[in-house]
Chains A and B, each alone.
Chain A
């Protein structure tokens, strides 16, 4: 009897500890394979050189243009997705009649589950020729296209988390505001939004994390040129796309192989910081 209790408890504890081990495994594997690149190139050149020519002789391992590519595509996606996502969230939470809400909410959840490779297909085959024809730019696979597709992709992520935050604002706050004579819009903007602020920030950070780490869309749609772009319609090569495109062609243990893991370290640190920010926001809220 006692024995069974103990064994069961030990099993649950060990499986919880496995989650920590998995995470440590991920961290260890990318650091173990990524650190050796700094024997070939120093930290400063790695980050500040825009020259990424890993297969030339001698090779160049500067990832600045990859970072810039990731940053611009992600920024563009957020410019599209943040207003739309928050707008959709406010609409579902505050404006929509009950029946519409019952349909919209699960629909948004469904959309969040669409595989990214299908978005990539859409951007590559449908949007790209549209951009070259309508806007008269030479290359349809560029920052603009990737930002647009990524933006559409993360709208459901931002809106469903923002909507949760808005819905959890107590009804009494809204009623107090109406009681003082404010109309629905004023109540939403001045009372509900500020009260849901931390949840909405978290949703934006979450959307950022998803966009910066998303691989298939940027691999298929961003154009793949490792360069510092001059315009919105230039192709770029974001970090995840570089890893995905080149890992298949490198031999294990070569400097190029380690450099790709080095990029993964950078990507991991960026997303880890964004996760920490969300945790801090959540904690700040619960203390209040």
Chain B
């Protein structure tokens, strides 16, 4: 009886070890394949020049620039909405029915497939507002996609501000607005920053929402205004693999682009994790 319990426990714990081993090996194989095939094409020229000869030679500079602008504009658009909505949810939070509707809306937005955001962007920004397929249409679509991430992270950040701070501020005669702007937001700032950085990582890697709103396969020019089509890193990978007719030359470029995109996303997320770790260590309350 006692032995069978021990055996069961041993088998159970062994199977947990197997699951973590399998997961890590899958992911390790995945990362090793991408990096080993992609690193060989990386060079200064690869990240600093435009594609040549119908994408079979040259670099990915316009795609890097495109992803930079898409990300910057979309997060710049979503951040104010996100922070203000989080303030509403944490500080005002009245009436209750409105809070519930807003929360349901946020959760739904967070779960809607990214391709549907793409269709929404196509209907509203591209066709209805006549922004056409452009940097602006893509960035606004991505911004709305990033909104729930930013709201949830900001809300969490605000909730870590101790009540004592808020009560002390109110007791000193500060109004609610002053308390929010001068006590809550500055205290929560590093955590809000972390959340924003995480959303940057998400937005930079999204492909489906920009398929019909912003992305173009091939342009040698950098965007000159927000109404230009842009190249973008994730779309570039997809396009290299599915369009054009020189697979043997395009696949290595796709791997190289994937490495740049991965490095970008992992770098950005690592910064976020490091900041969060540092805050936790430094925090005195």
- Those of B227-273 within 8 Å (CB) of chain A: 234-235, 237-238, 241-242, 251, 254-255, 258, 261-262, 265-266, 269-270, 273
Contact between A240 and B106 (Cβ–Cβ < 8 Å)?
Answer: no
The segment from A1-9, A59-67, A167-175, A228-236 that touches chain B is: A1-9
Q: Which of A9, A104, A267 contacts B177 (CB 8 A)?
A: A9
**Which partner residue on chain B sits nearest A182 by CB separation?**
B5
Q: Mark A97-109, 1 if CB is under 8 A from B, else 0.
A: 0000000101001
B65 within 8 A of A: no
- Asked if B160 is at the interface (CB within 8 A of a chain A CB), the reply is no
Q: Is the CB of A26 within 8 A of B120?
A: yes
**Cβ-based interface call for A15 (8 A):** yes
**Does B9 count as interface, using CB distance less than 8 angstroms?**
yes
Question: What residue of chain A has the Cβ atom nearest to residue B111's Cβ?
Answer: A275
Q: Within 8 Å of chain B (Cβ to Cβ): is A51?
A: no
Interface residues of A in 79-96 (CB under 8 A from B): 83-84, 86-88, 90-91, 95
Q: Judging by beta carbons under 8 Å apart, are B205 and A114 in contact?
A: yes
CB distance from B153 to the nearest CB of A (A): 13
Is B269's CB under 8 angstroms from A110's CB? yes
Say whether B171 faces chain A, with CB atoms less than 8 Å apart. Answer: no
From A8, A30, A113, A219, contact of B119 by CB (8 A) = A30
What chain B residues lie within 8 Å of A18 (beta carbons)? Answer: 81, 85
Residues A117 and B177 in contact in the complex (CB < 8 Å), given A91-B19, A106-B273, A155-B23: no
Closest to A104 in B: B20
- The CA of A106 and the CA of B12, in the complex, are separated in Å by 25
Question: Within the assembled complex, what's the spacing in Å between the Cα atoms of A206 and B111?
Answer: 8
> By the criterion CB–CB under 8 Å, are A247 and B212 in contact?
yes
Task: Select one of A23, A116, A155 contacting B105, CB under 8 A.
Answer: A23
Interface contact B34-A91, CB-CB below 8 Å: no
B111 contacts which chain A residues (CB < 8 A)?
Answer: 206, 209, 213, 271-272, 274-275
- Which of B45-53, B54-62, B121-129 is found at the contact surface with chain A? B121-129
Q: Is the CB of A113 within 8 A of B85?
A: no
**Cβ A20 vs Cβ B105 within 8 A:** yes
* Interface status of B63 (Cβ within 8 A of chain A): no
List chain A residues, Cβ under 8 A from B33: 122, 126
Return chain B residues, CB-CB under 8 Å to A117. Answer: 205, 207, 234-235, 237-238, 258, 261
Residue pair A248, B27 in contact (C-beta under 8 Å): no
A195 lies within 8 A of chain B by Cβ: no
A20–B101 touching, CB < 8 Å: yes
- Complex Cα distance, B112 from A206, in Å, reads 11
Say yes or no: is B221 at the interface (Cβ < 8 Å to chain A).
Answer: no
Q: Contact flags (1/0) for B19-33 with A, using CB distance below 8 Å?
A: 110110011001001
B113: interface (CB < 8 Å): yes
Distance, CA A268 to CA B113, complexed state (A):
8
- In the assembled complex, the Cα of A134 lies from the Cα of B92 at a distance in Å of 60
Which residues of chain A are near B189, meaning CB under 8 Å?
A: none
User: When chains A and B are docked, how far (Å) is the Cα of A126 from the Cα of B32?
Assistant: 12
Assess whether A111 is interfacial by the CB under 8 Å rule.
yes
Q: Is A213 a contact of B116 with CB atoms below 8 Å?
A: yes
Chain A residue with the shortest CB-CB distance to B255 = A121
Contacts of A271 in B (CB 8 A): 111-113
Task: Write the nearest CB–CB distance from A201 to chain B, whole angstroms.
Answer: 15
Partner of A264, one of B8, B119, B205: B119
Q: Does A58 contact B (CB under 8 A)?
A: no
- B151 an interface residue at 8 Å Cβ cutoff? yes
Q: How large is the interface on A (under 10, 10 to 19, 20 to 34, 35 or more residues)?
A: 35 or more
User: CB distance A111 to B175 under 8 Å?
Assistant: no
- Whether B151 lies near A19 (C-beta < 8 A) is yes
Indicate which residue in A1, A116, A159 contacts B207 across the interface (CB closer than 8 Å): A116
In the bound assembly, the distance between CA atoms of A91 and B42 in angstroms comes to 37
- Check B108 against A23 for contact (C-beta < 8 Å): yes
| Assembly CA distance A183 to B270 (angstroms) | 37
Looking across the interface, which residue of chain A has its beta carbon closest to that of B13? A185
Closest CB-CB distance, B116 to chain A, in whole Å? Answer: 5
- A122/B242 contact (C-beta < 8 A), A88-B20, A244-B115, A247-B212 known: no
A156 shortest CB reach to chain B, Å: 9
A220 at interface, CB cutoff 8 A: yes
A5 cross-chain contacts in B, Cβ below 8 A: 175-177
B80 at the interface (CB under 8 A from A): yes
Q: Across the interface, do B115 and A183 meet the contact criterion of CB distance under 8 Å?
A: no
- A252 and B265 alpha carbons, distance in the complex (Å): 35
Q: Inside 8 A of B89's CB, which chain A residues have their CB?
A: 16
Binding site for B on A (CB under 8 A): 1, 4-5, 8-9, 11-13, 15-20, 22-23, 25-26, 29-30, 32-33, 83-84, 86-88, 90-91, 95, 104, 106, 109-111, 113-122, 124-126, 152, 155, 159, 183-186, 188-189, 206, 209, 212-216, 219-220, 240, 243-244, 247-248, 252, 260-261, 264, 267-268, 271-272, 274-275, 278-279
Contact residues of B with A, CB < 8 Å?
5-6, 8-10, 12-13, 15-20, 22-23, 26-27, 30, 33-34, 80-81, 84-85, 87-89, 91-92, 98, 101-102, 104-109, 111-120, 122-124, 127, 144, 147, 151, 175-177, 180-181, 198, 201-202, 204-208, 211-212, 234-235, 237-238, 241-242, 251, 254-255, 258, 261-262, 265-266, 269-270, 273
6 A-B residue pairs with Cβ-Cβ distance under 8 Å, sorted by A, are: A8-B180, A9-B92, A113-B202, A214-B113, A271-B113, A272-B108
